[in-house]
């Protein structure tokens, strides 16, 4: 089995990746860079995480310009993290088509942050064409941090997360798929933007 792993610079997705690798799943890593809103520091971090995990190939998509539209629509901004993740699911699906992957893997963990409440996970799933694999779903943060330390990714993952850079102060913790889809259409994220994934 092969999966596209959504690899951020945080603690969760590298631990999820390691779990899947231990189960014999082949992984292609996809990292979303917020360039040009940020620099490429997160890409450097993702490359090091791939090295530590033994993932042979890292793909990068620059999404900063596209997500930069979201804060200009007040309702869409409440759903910022959902719109961001749904965009990543679409990119992962497109990459999976290219590399022959069967599933999308994430470090999502139930109720840990705003986009990962049960209603929001349901809304997210509507954007994916492939099965979603969430090996951390039932773990708490203490377990994830313990595994990150045990498996050697903790030190690389320490540091600020850039994924919330454009996010709202009070993000939506519940959602209806129809309302999120409407917001997505208004800010031009309903169809896969012309975003090329490239290897680094």
Tens of pLDDT, residue by residue over 111-128, are 666 778 889 999 999 999
Dump pLDDT digits (tens) for 34-47: 888 787 889 999 99
User: Residue written as tokens 């809103």?
Assistant: 37
Residue 167: the pLDDT is 79
Cα dihedral across residues 198, 137, 102, 90: positive or negative: negative
Q: What DSSP line would sit under 18-73, residue for residue?
A: HHHHHTT-EEEEEEEE-TTTS-SHHHHHHHHHHHHHT---EEEEE-HHHHTTGGGS
- The pTM for the full model equals 0.91
Residue 125 in contact with residue 132, Cβ under 8 Å? yes
Query: Distances from the Cα of 21 to the Cαs of 25, 103, 197, in angstroms?
Result: 5, 14, 22
Q: Please, are residues 55 and 27 in contact by the beta-carbon 8 Å criterion?
A: yes
Work out the mean pLDDT of the chain and round it to a whole number.
90
Tell me the mean pLDDT in the region 139-157. 94
Look at residue 111 in the predicted model and tell me its pLDDT.
63
Residue-wise pLDDT tens digits, 63-112: 988 888 998 999 999 999 999 999 999 999 999 999 999 999 999 998 66
Averaged over 126-155, what is the pLDDT?
A: 94
pLDDT at 23 over 90: yes
54 pLDDT above the threshold of 90: yes
The answer on pLDDT for 5 being more than 90 is yes
CATH fold, domain 2-191, is Rossmann fold (3.40.50)
Contact 28, 53 (CB under 8 A): no
- pLDDT band for 191, please (50, 70, 90 cuts): confident
- pLDDT at position 39 is 79
Quote the tokens at residue 43.
């890409």
Instruction: Find the mean pLDDT for residues 124-138.
Output: 95
What's the full length of the chain, in residues?
A: 200
Q: Check residues 99 and 161 and name the one with the higher pLDDT.
A: 99
pLDDT of residue 163: 59
């Amino acid at each position: 089995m092969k999966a596209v792993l959504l690899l951020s610079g945080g603690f969760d997705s590298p631990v999820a990746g390691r779990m899947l690798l231990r189960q014999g799943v082949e992984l292609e890593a996809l990292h979303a860079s917020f360039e040009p809103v940020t620099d490429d520091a997160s890409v450097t971090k993702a490359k090091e995480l791939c090295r530590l995990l033994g993932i042979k190939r890292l793909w990068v998509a620059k999404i900063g310009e596209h997500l930069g539209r979201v804060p200009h629509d007040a309702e869409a901004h409440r759903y910022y993290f959902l719109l961001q993740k749904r965009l990543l699911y679409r990119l992962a699906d497109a990459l999976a088509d290219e590399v022959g992957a069967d599933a999308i893997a994430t470090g999502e963990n139930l109720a840990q942050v705003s986009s990962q409440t049960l209603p929001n996970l349901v809304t997210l799933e509507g954007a994916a064409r492939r099965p979603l694999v969430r090996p951390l779903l039932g773990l708490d943060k203490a377990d994830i941090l313990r595994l990150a330390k045990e498996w050697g990714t903790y030190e690389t993952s320490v540091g600020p997360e850039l994924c919330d850079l454009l996010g709202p102060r009070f993000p939506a913790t519940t959602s209806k798929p129809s309302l999120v889809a409407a917001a997505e259409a208004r800010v031009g994220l309903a169809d896969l933007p012309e975003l090329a994934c490239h290897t680094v």
